[in-house]
């Protein structure tokens, strides 16, 4: 059987398949470089597992308080080695990325301290954590203030503004690696390193935390190797490799991790408690797969950028730009494009392919939002997923794909639907 006819069974026309093939061929060198980074990171993960003598006994779970959970303790040492930090907290009790970030912040800040973001507005959910938007239990309610310095027009750091914003109360600096759903560029690990060095030159002893969501394994270095005191992320994104059913991680200095652990548990109940409930094997195995999963997701993002750029749509990052996270935005300028794109992603899913996503009024958003996800793990965004607010400029944000082939199918299905919606004049 020919590959094209296999795609035809999904309703993908020969023209779309041919454009996909041509685009893929043009990306051969990029893909080879991505594979080499995956290979590098694969070796990094295996070395950490070998060093910590990962064994069958580490896959057994504990219950109740979870004292002496060998699997949990070993997994945390493996994470610390992979992220090149002194220590790590990796737990199924951490509900998601936002919770991991909150735990890291709340554990290390005290009333009267100030938190600084030198890279502009943080991810939406952090606004409530910090209290930028009034919220029950925010850091603000506990007397922790917040200051923000925006990036300059060209996306670079406003060093003078940052210097002026650091004061005697500045205790912690939060740096978001991925642009998330904002329009600023994503930061490379080296850029983050320069920022950390600057901040510490102005005020030695200030803590630097990196929100590493969507960035893990995209590069060969992680922020802990460039001076970050804490590196934080979600296990249903990159480092969970698609297998982690839940969880988050905080990798960092011994002291920061200790402080975070007491916030996750309670005063007096630190990292020695927290049953792993039998999920350790999935967390180990997911981490093991994560470098190749991230490579597949990256190829999907670059493939989409190249295809849509060729057809005249504006994409961010641009097709040829270096990558520091797995998110791709495509701007359609019309609601129909966002809707068709998401419906194509949904139609390519292994789970729930039969449902048709529609825009709806989501709590907390000022416009309707459409989301596509056909995931094995609810809300997992290392799995192929897309969403977009139904408002100008009508951009869709898409990420993930546990395999490159699935990401490719999703992108081709999206293109087919966008074509059928009449948004492409000719190929
Ligand atoms: C996803 C994400 C978060 C929040 O993670 P959740 O798991 O959705 O709570 C925070 N920051 C960034 C940059 C993210 O991409």
**Domain for residue 33, yes or no?**
yes
Residue 281's domain is classified under what CATH number? 3.40.640.10
Residue 404's domain is classified under what CATH number? 3.90.1150.60
Q: How far apart are CA 29 and CA 26, in angstroms?
A: 8
Please identify, among 223, 253, 287, the residue that sits at the C-terminal boundary of a domain: 287
Q: How far apart are CA 97 and CA 94, in angstroms?
A: 8
Chain centroid, CA 147 distance in Å: 24
C-alpha distances in Å from residue 304, one per residue of 173, 185, 328, 331, 360: 34, 18, 8, 12, 25
Do 38 and 65 share a structural domain? no
If one counts every other C-beta atom within 10 angstroms of the C-beta of residue 63, the result is: 10
Considering only CA atoms, which of 99, 98, 96, 102 is closest in space to residue 142? 102
101 CA from centroid of ligand 1 (Å): 9
If one counts every other C-beta atom within 10 angstroms of the C-beta of residue 71, the result is: 23
Model pLDDT, residue 104:
98
Give the tens place of pLDDT for each residue, 307-365.
999 999 999 999 999 999 999 999 999 999 999 999 999 999 999 999 999 999 987 67
Model pLDDT, residue 1:
74
368: Cβ contacts below 8 Å, ≥ 6 apart: 359, 360, 361, 362, 389, 390
The answer to whether 401 touches 297, Cβ cutoff 8 Å, is: yes
**Domain for residue 342, yes or no?**
yes
If one counts every other C-beta atom within 10 angstroms of the C-beta of residue 163, the result is: 15
Model pLDDT, residue 426:
74
**Domain for residue 49, yes or no?**
no
**Domain for residue 55, yes or no?**
no
Do 326 and 395 share a structural domain? yes
* Minimal-distance CA residue to ligand 1 atom 12: 213
Do 306 and 280 share a structural domain? no
User: Got the DSSP string for 131-177?
Assistant: TSS--TT-TGGGT-EEEE-PPPTTS---HHHHHHH--TTEEEEEEES
Model pLDDT, residue 2:
87
Give the tens place of pLDDT for each residue, 374-405.
999 999 999 999 999 999 999 999 999 999 99
Do 238 and 204 share a structural domain? yes
* Minimal-distance CA residue to ligand 1 atom 7: 97
Do 237 and 317 share a structural domain? no
Do 176 and 155 share a structural domain? yes
| CB-count exposure of residue 384 (10 Å: 0-12, 13-18, 19+) | buried
**Domain for residue 217, yes or no?**
yes
Q: Ligand 1 pocket test: which of 179, 211, 223, 385 has the largest number of ligand atoms within 8 Å of its C-beta?
A: 211
263 CA from centroid of ligand 1 (Å): 19
Q: How many domains does the chain have?
A: 2
248 CA from centroid of ligand 1 (Å): 10
Residues of the chain scoring pLDDT < 50:
none
Do 283 and 307 share a structural domain? no
Q: Ligand 1 pocket test: which of 132, 234, 364 has the largest number of ligand atoms within 8 Å of its C-beta?
A: 234
For ligand 1, whether the C-beta of 240 sits within 6 Å is no
How far apart, in Å, do the first and last CA atoms of the chain sit?
Answer: 26
Do 185 and 64 share a structural domain? yes
Query: Rounded to the nearest 5°, which phi and psi values hold at 375?
Result: -110, 150
Do 315 and 231 share a structural domain? no
195: Cβ contacts below 8 Å, ≥ 6 apart: 118, 119, 157, 162, 175, 187
Atom of ligand 1 nearest to the CA of 179: 13
Please identify, among 287, 310, 330, the residue that sits at the C-terminal boundary of a domain: 287
**Cα-Cα-Cα-Cα dihedral of 369, 370, 374, 378, to 10°?**
10
For ligand 1, whether the C-beta of 213 sits within 6 Å is yes
Do 321 and 271 share a structural domain? no
**Domain for residue 52, yes or no?**
no
357 CA from centroid of ligand 1 (Å): 22
Find the domain containing 33 and state its range: 3-42+290-420
13 CA from centroid of ligand 1 (Å): 36
Give all strands (DSSP E) within 340-425, no chain letters.
360-361, 368-373, 385-389, 395-399
Do 201 and 342 share a structural domain? no
As given in the structure block, the two tokens for residue 82 are 């992979």
**Domain for residue 154, yes or no?**
yes
97 CA from centroid of ligand 1 (Å): 5
**Domain for residue 426, yes or no?**
no
Model pLDDT, residue 183:
79
For ligand 1, whether the C-beta of 234 sits within 6 Å is yes
Please identify, among 231, 257, 287, the residue that sits at the C-terminal boundary of a domain: 287
Do 206 and 98 share a structural domain? yes
Q: Map residue 16 onto helix, strand or coil.
A: helix
> For 222, left (φ over 0), alpha (ψ -120 to 50), or beta?
beta
For ligand 1, whether the C-beta of 403 sits within 6 Å is no
123 CA from centroid of ligand 1 (Å): 7
Mean pLDDT, the chain, integer: 96
| CB-count exposure of residue 261 (10 Å: 0-12, 13-18, 19+) | buried
C-alpha distances in Å from residue 340, one per residue of 367, 413, 420: 18, 9, 8
């Amino acid at each position: 059987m020919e590959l094209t006819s296999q795609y035809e069974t999904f309703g993908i026309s020969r023209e779309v398949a041919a454009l996909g093939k041509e685009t893929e061929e043009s990306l051969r060198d990029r893909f080879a470089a991505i594979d080499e980074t995956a290979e590098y990171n694969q070796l990094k993960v295996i070395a950490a597992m070998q060093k910590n003598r990962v064994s069958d006994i580490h896959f057994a779970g504990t219950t109740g308080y979870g004292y002496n959970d060998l699997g949990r303790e070993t997994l945390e040492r493996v994470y610390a080695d992979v992220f090149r930090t002194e220590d790590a907290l990796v737990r199924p009790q951490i509900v998601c990325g936002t919770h991991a970030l909150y735990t890291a912040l709340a554990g290390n800040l005290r009333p009267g301290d100030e938190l600084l973001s030198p890279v502009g507005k943080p991810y939406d959910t952090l606004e409530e954590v910090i209290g930028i938007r009034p919220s029950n239990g925010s850091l603000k309610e506990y007397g922790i203030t917040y200051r923000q310095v925006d990036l300059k027009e060209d996306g670079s750091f406003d060093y003078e503004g940052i210097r002026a914003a650091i004061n005697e109360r500045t205790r912690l600096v939060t740096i978001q690696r991925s642009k998330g759903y904002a329009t600023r560029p994503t930061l490379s690990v080296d850029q983050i390193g320069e920022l950390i060095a600057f901040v510490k030159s102005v005020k030695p002893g200030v803590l630097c935390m990196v929100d590493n969501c969507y960035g893990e394994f995209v590069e060969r270095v992680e922020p802990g190797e460039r001076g970050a005191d804490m590196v934080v992320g979600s296990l249903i994104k990159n480092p969970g490799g698609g297998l982690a059913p839940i969880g988050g991680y905080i990798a960092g200095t011994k002291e920061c991790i200790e402080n975070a652990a007491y916030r996750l548990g309670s005063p007096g109940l630190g990292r020695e408690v927290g049953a792993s409930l039998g999920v350790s094997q999935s967390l180990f195995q997911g981490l093991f797969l994560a470098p190749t999963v991230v490579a597949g997701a990256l190829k999907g993002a670059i493939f989409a950028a190249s295809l849509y750029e060729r057809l005249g749509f504006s994409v961010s990052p641009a097709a040829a730009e270096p990558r520091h996270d797995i998110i791709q935005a495509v701007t359609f300028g019309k609601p129909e494009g966002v809707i068709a794109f998401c419906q194509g992603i949904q139609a390519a899913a292994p789970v729930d392919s039969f449902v048709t996503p529609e825009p709806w009024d989501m709590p907390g958003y000022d416009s309707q939002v459409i989301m596509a996800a056909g995931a094995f793990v609810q809300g997992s965004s290392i799995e192929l997923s897309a969403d977009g607010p139904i408002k100008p400029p009508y951009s869709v944000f898409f990420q993930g794909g546990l395999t490159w082939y699935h990401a490719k199918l999703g992108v081709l299905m999206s293109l087919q639907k966008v074509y059928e919606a009449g948004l492409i004049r000719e190929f």
